[in-house]
Structure 1
Amino acid sequence: MVVKQKSSVLFVVLLLIISLLSGCSNNAATVNNQDSESTIKSNKPIEIGITQIVEHPALDSARQGFIDALASKGYRDGENLKIDFQNAQGDIPTAQTIAQNFASSKKDMIFAVATPSAQAAFNATKDIPILITAVTDPEDAGLVKSMEKPETNVTGTSDAAPMERQMELLKNLIPHAKKVGILYNTSERNSEIQVEMAKELSDSFDIEIIASGVTSTNEVPQALDSLMNKIDVLYVPTDNLIASAIAIISEKCIENNIPIIGSEKGHVEGGALATEGIDYYKLGFQTGIMAVEVLEGASTKDMPIETLKDTTLTINMDTAEKLNIEISKEMLERAEIVKGGEVQ
């Protein structure tokens, strides 16, 4: 009887030991699984959705500058970063769909290039950080409370054109100019703002502004025809629709001996005579540096909208020769020269 009792006790003890060992094993497995999940989570690439209203040199340069800035700080696409680039092809409903898809897929950040894309992104989410560029007046566009303190999930850079410098350039190159035409997209608030700015400056430069609005590239040739006999020079604002038609506009103006003053380098590369404008690559790069700050903990609500202070004089010598316009030695010495459609 005693032997049987001892055997029973030993059996129970063995069961307890096996149970304890099994529990320890399971706990270790749980800890290991948690560590694994934590590692996977930390190694998950940051996802940034890039939405761009249309492809043209200025906006493309800004996008590349943004990507290069991220890479310069260690965030590289295909490694620890996953970039989803979507182009709306100039269609606002498409821009809205892109923004909604980015919001529903819970991107870590949205980079919006140009006002329509920025507005679509802001309408789609108030939580995901949105970095913007190529937006002339973010406050007027309803994206931020103020340029100094956004107080929203939006920050980034403005491409506000140095209009006064461009008007000085216009008068230096075409001193006799009195009537300045502006071709712009009536459905883009940025463009309307620039027309208003030009009109405010008109008295200072002794010029008259004759504006002609369009709603699509199909209307551009007819709008140009209506301007040709009324103006001495054409000014092209930072307008996405107009920029996409700059080759057509330049050809028509050169045929009619009308110089074009552009607002950014892409216009000059497309055939405009000259510009004193900002570099969109640098603007995008500056936005990318801001994006890194946000990714590393900064709040968009407290980050002021930035601008690019430096401007670059760019002159298209092919166009100058066709229009028989002489460029001073002083201008040539400080300008980037475009010849054959490329910067020399």
Structure 2
Amino acid sequence: MKLNSIYKAAALSTLLLCSSLQAKTVYVATTAIVEHPALDAVRDGIKAVLNENGYTDENLKFTYESAQGQPAIAAQIARKMVGDEPDVIVAIATPSAQAAVSASKNIPVVFSAVTDPVGAKLVPSLTKPGSNVTGLSDMVNVKQHLALIKEFLPNLKSVGVPYNPGEANSVSIVTALKAAASEMGIEIIESAAPKSSDVMIATKQLIGKVDAIYCPTDNTIISAFESVVKVGIDSQTPVFAADTGSVERGAVAAVGYDYGDLGRQTGDLVIRILKGEKPGMIDVKMAEGTDLFVNTKMAARMGVTVPEAVLARATKVIK
């Protein structure tokens, strides 16, 4: 009888321990430099993957804070998150990632939607980055983007690029864009927009100097993208983008990633860390998958015709 009681006590203890482990709340703190459809889709994709892997409202604390486009606020958010001691910090876009990596020395940081993680000094290398940091890069194929614009405008000579020179990701894209354009005989003309309120003025300064406008994955520009579209319509200068979400907001076309899917790819990295892997031993992931979106209505409003070859391979046509 005594032995039986011991077995029962041991079984009860094991059951209570399992229940305790199952009840343990996992805390994932998420932040982004600004709210716009692409970055919001990343956040939602991350949470969807967490839910699918058993982290639900019952055992998951998932927070989100936007820096409203201000690097100083991003730094404040990062410091606060470190003080709250989450299991993982997820930082979306380069400025928020830089703030999180600077603030956190021990808490795992997973970045997402960062164009050039090495150039932004988030990690020393993409392979086994070491420390407490890993993440996902959304480096775009700028040569492919220029080739798409040239399909619309065979005599393309110049492309205007509004961008925020304070965003490391944007600087990397513009540098890559210039190199690719040089090989193709295209001139890149830049126009600086350090703040969202500068976007319309920066875009207007390009009119009369360029054949088309190209908007990189620059969070300042994308947050005020409707301003770029208005200038494009008013001046009959076609606007192209590096992300497909901007086509739904008025760009003529884009070859880019589905940012909801990028969020899911980021979520997979978070799951690996929650299961015990060290972030520094996880290679930085390069975003996978591209789509071609075309907006025929905006093409007409900006004075260009969508080539049949582009329509034929488009994954989504917005009319």
The answer to which of 67-76 and 53-62 deviates more is 67-76
| Equivalent-residue separation in structure 1 for 2:288 and 2:22 (angstroms) | 38
Correspondence 1:170 to 2:155: no
State whether structure 2 residue 315 is matched by structure 1 residue 332.
no
1:74 and 1:328 map into 2 onto residues whose CA distance is: 46
CA distance in 2, matches of 1:167, 1:309: 20
CA offsets 1:209-268 (integer angstroms, 9 cap, x no match): 101112112222222222101111011110000001111110111110111110001211
Partner of 2:45: 65
Which residue of 1 is the match for residue 6 of structure 2?
none
**RMSD value over aligned CA atoms?**
2.1
Determine which of 221, 229, 236 is the counterpart of 2:200: 221
Q: In 2, distance between residues paired with 1:201 and 1:112?
A: 29
Pairs aligned (count): 311
Deviation at 1:44, TM superposition (A): 2.1
Gap change, CA 1:34 and 1:98, over 3 Å in 2: farther
Identical residues among aligned pairs (%): 37
Question: For 1:38 and 1:293, how far apart are their aligned partners in 2?
Answer: 21
Instruction: Quote how far apart the aligned CAs of 1:320 are.
Output: 1.3
**Corresponding residue SS for 2:61:** strand
Tell me the alpha carbon deviations over residues 195-215 of structure 1, each in whole angstroms, 9 at most, x when there is no partner. Answer: 111111112221001011121
Aligned with residue 97 of structure 1, among 66, 76, 85 = 76
Task: State the partner residue of 1:23.
Answer: none
Displacement after TM superposition at 1:37 (Å): 8.2
Letter matched to residue 296 of structure 1: K
Structure 1: stretches of 5+ with no match in the other structure: 1-28
Distance 2:77 2:208 in 1: 42
* Contact 1:183/1:213 (8 A) holds in 2: yes
Superposed CA deviations along residues 108-131 of structure 1, whole A, max 9, x for unmatched, are 111110011111111111111111
Q: Give the corresponding residue for 1:114.
A: 93
Contact preservation (8 Å) 1:66, 1:287: yes
Summarize deviations over 1:133-186 as a string: whole Å, max 9, x none.
Answer: 010111111111101121121111101011111011011111121011110001
**Which amino acid counterpart does residue 67 of structure 1 have in structure 2?**
K
- 1:218 partner SS: helix
**What is the CA-CA distance between 1:282 and the residue it aligns to?**
0.9
> Superposed, which structure 2 residues align to 1:189-204 within 5 Å?
189-204=168-183
Match of 1:135 among 114, 126, 129: 114
Rounded to whole Å, the distance in 2 between the matches of 1:320 and 1:35 is 64
After superposition, the Cα gap between the structure-2 partners of 1:336 and 1:142, relative to the gap in structure 1 and judged at 3 Å, is same
Asked whether the equivalents of residues 119 and 172 of structure 2 are also in contact (C-alpha less than 8 Å), the reply is no
2:231 aligned with 1:252: yes
Higher alpha-carbon deviation: 231-240 or 316-325: 316-325
C-alpha contact 1:155 1:300 (8 A) present in aligned 2 = yes
The answer on whether the counterparts of 1:317 and 1:337 sit within 8 Å (CA) in structure 2 is: no
Q: Partners of 2:268 and 2:83 in 1: how far apart?
A: 26
Q: Secondary structure at the match of 1:234?
A: strand
Alignment of 1:231-242 (within 5 A): 231-242=210-221
* Contact kept in structure 1, 2:33 and 2:95, CA below 8 Å: yes
Measured in 2, the distance between the counterparts of 1:143 and 1:264 equals 23
Calculate the TM-score normalised by the size of structure 1: 0.85
Q: 1:74 to 1:205 in 2, by over 3 A?
A: same
Aligned AA (2:55): Y
Match of residue 285 from structure 2: 306
Give the letter for the 2:237 counterpart: I
Residue equivalent to 2:272: 293
The question of whether the paired residues in 2 share the 8 Å contact of 1:145 and 1:152 is answered with no
- Work out which of the two has the higher radius of gyration on C-alpha atoms and give 1 or 2: 1
Separation (CA, whole Å) in 2 of partners of 1:224 and 1:102: 36
TM-score (norm 2): 0.92
- Alignment-derived partner of residue 185 in structure 1: 164
C-alpha distance in structure 2 between counterparts of 1:60 and 1:153, whole Å? 24
**Aligned AA (1:249):** V
- Alignment match, 2:31: 51
Q: What secondary structure sits across from 2:265 in the alignment?
A: helix
Distance 2:15 2:301 in 1: 69
